[in-house]
Chains A and B, each alone.
Chain A
Amino acid sequence: MSLILILEQILNGLQFGVMLFLMAAGLTLVFGVMGLINLAHGALYMVGAFAAAAVAGLTGSFVLALIASLAAAAAAGALVEVTVIRRLYDRDHLDQVLATFALILIFSEGTRWIFGSFPLFLDVPDYLSGPVTLPGGIKYPLYRLAIIVIGLVVGAGLFWLIARTRIGIQIRAGEADREMIAALGVDISKLYTLVFALGAALAGLAGALVGAIQSVQVGMGEPVLILAFVVIVIGGIGSIKGALVGALLVGLTDTLGGIFLPRLFTLMMEPAQAASLGASLASMLIYILMAAVLLVRPSGLFGGSA
């Protein structure tokens, strides 16, 4: 096991973590501001990926595909917010879970209806394909590096938006006291639609970026959704900073665990047994991490009171 391999895996973990952050940021914003648990967030990720694959297929442009993913997911998010989600803000979590689960069924089957059951493929553009040599002699796929950079840039933009802009102030005020900012003349329902569409756009972008590495298919958003839940539970629901830290923790733990646990077990037992036990345990690692965090801090690393 060489240092280069370890560094490569750390980069992979970072890339995975950054993608998770794009997903988790929307979820945690929507929960923090509107108090809504949105299971359909993964469906918006899927919408982004499909929109990107369709536009890339028509135009051949990857940049247009990414723009389409943002636009389609934001539009789908805004539509869903206006028609369904806004009726759920005052309901209990059970109703929110059910209604958004129903939305998953509608989105998944609707997408299957339009695009069929076969996966679509979104190609990495030429100018981003192939490996790049990093300082230290590590060869790493350029596209994955680009994902890390895009993710970090978007993340930084989000922090700036929340911390420095007027919209950000309104969003934070909405988290703290929704009646008060409504009384101060902010159109709260427009703000909610905006926040929801923003979260959706981030999820859609993540879907498109990951769609170029994996295949674009119905149901692709659900495993990511559940990981994003793990992320925000670890980070503390409602906290963007928590989402970032949680996402990187989960991304790194999952990637490094999957590679190194089987190897670690090989030191202690025979290879076949070690491989299967290592793989089983590695698949559970992030949940064990989550349980450990909860034992120490039931409301997550950066959460207030649950």
Chain B
Amino acid sequence: MNSRARKLADALLTLLFWAAVWLLLARIVGQELLLPAPGAVLKRLAALAGTADFWVITATSIGRVLLGIVSATALGLLLAVLTAASRAARVLLSPLMTVVKSTPVASFVILALIWLQRDILPVFIAGLMVLPVVWANVSAGIQETDAQLLEVARVYRMPRGRVLRRVYVPSVLPHFRAALRSALGFGWKAGIAAEVLTVPQRSIGRMIFESKLYLQTTDLFAWTLAVILLSLVIERLMLRLIARAGRSEKGGAARD
């Protein structure tokens, strides 16, 4: 068995194991209101996925969260460059990012509810979770760029664009990839949590909130499962995109 097939077999076995544990617990509890069985949840998810509303709602939520993640990633990159270039920027931004990272999502949501419209708030919250992670990782990547290679670039008078493309970008790429890997998860979860708290129209968060409100536990599980599956798919797609962007620079730090 090759390593890919073994990985797949491991993943399937793990999935089956936990599904069995879930099924067993659901049987022990014996009340769908408290803990629905995995089969019922999957059936409900399939039913939901057969409606146009489901796709409109998930697309809107994905759009909101992705807008927050992409904007925050761009801002994080920009601020990381600024931090590397200026000591003053580093001194000013470091405590700010620490505060953002340490503040509970719920506090931000409550505060932001005063300032922002419900529809925009999940965008803002998802971005807020992503920003410090991207900033910290990319800053570290820039700082850890090999000083010896930068000396070579200096001696040979390489143009700035080339130094950026050939030295900085490949050095920072693994840090950026690691940042996105964790930031996507954070951003997605925080964005959906913000939707649950602010219940904007056409949102997964609203569906989760309403499921809880009307004690439709199977729906709650089905929407939650949808969130998990979407998170996995989005993470895979984004990482594949980054890998493709970095493919022109193979080997060393930029090698997959």
Tell whether A and B belong to one assembly: no
